[in-house]
Amino acid sequence: MRKEIRFGGFGGQGIISAGNITGKAASIFEDKNAVLIQSYGPEARGGACSADVVIEDEKIDYPQITVPEVLVLMSQEAYEKYSDEIQDGGIMLLEKDLVEDVEQPEGVKQYKIPATKIAEDLGHKIVANVVMLGALVAVTGAVDEKKMKESVLSSVPEGTEDLNERAFESGLEYGSKLMKEEVPGR
C-alpha cells in the first residue's frame, strides 16, 4: 500500500516539520518505509514551501510523488499551486482561515480545519502544523494515531511537549468531529 501526501504552505508554518514528523511516524514508529522530499521558495520565512511524503509497506522504488492522494494546504498560494494535482477520490485538508478562495474538484473531499485559530486558542499559533497533523490522522488514517503522537512528541523542542500534545489532540478531535458529521450515527 502506497500513500502519497503533500504538505504545502509558506515558510514559518512548519510545513517541512509536519512532513518530517509524518515520515518519522511511519518509518520509525510504524516500521514502514517513508521518503520525504522538501522544497523551499527563495525566501525561508514567508516564501512558498512544500513537503512530499511517500509511505509504503514495501520497498519504495520511486521516491517522488506521482499524484498525491492527500493534500494538506495551509496557504492560498499552496492551494493555487497544488489543488489540481490530486488523485480522484483524494482528500484535501485546508487551513480554513488562510485558504479561502476554493473550488471543490469533482471526486475530491475537502475538509476545512481552522488550525491556526485552534493553535492560537492553545496559546501559540506556531503549533498550527501539529493541529493539522491531528486532523490528518482523524480524516485519513494515513498514519496510526498513537504513532503520530509519539513522533510529534519526540520531534518538538524540549519544554513544548505539553503544548504540542494539546495541539495534536485538538486537531484529532476536530477532524473526528468532521468525520462524524459526514457519516451520521457514527
pLDDT digits (tens, 9 = 90+) for 39-77: 876 655 667 899 999 999 999 999 999 999 999 999 999
pLDDT band (50, 70, 90) for residue 186: very low
Q: What is the SS3 string spanning the chain? A: CEEEEEEEEECCCCHHHHHHHHHHHHHHHCCCEEEEEEEECCCCCCCEEEEEEEEECCCCCCCCCCCCCEEEECCHHHHHHHCCCCCCCCEEEEECCCCCCCCCCCCCEEEEECHHHHHHHHCCHHHHHHHHHHHHHHHHCCCCHHHHHHHHHHHCCCCCHHHHHHHHHHHHHHHHHHHHHHCCCC
Indicate the average pLDDT of the chain: 92
Give the model's pLDDT for residue 103. Answer: 84
Q: What is the pLDDT of residue 41?
A: 64
| C-alpha grid cell, residue 13 | 508554518
Q: Cα(105)–Cα(97) distance, rounded to whole angstroms?
A: 20
Q: What is the pLDDT of residues 10-27, one digit of tens each?
A: 988 999 999 999 999 999
Model pLDDT for residues 100-148, shown as the tens digit of each residue: 878 877 899 999 999 999 999 999 999 999 999 999 999 999 999 999 9
Q: pTM of the prediction?
A: 0.93
pLDDT at 45: 61
The answer to whether the beta carbons of residues 68 and 52 sit under 8 Å apart is yes
- Measure the CA dihedral 90/37/54/113, to 10°: -40
Residue 181: pLDDT band (50, 70, 90) is: confident
Domains of the chain: 2-182 (3.40.920.10)
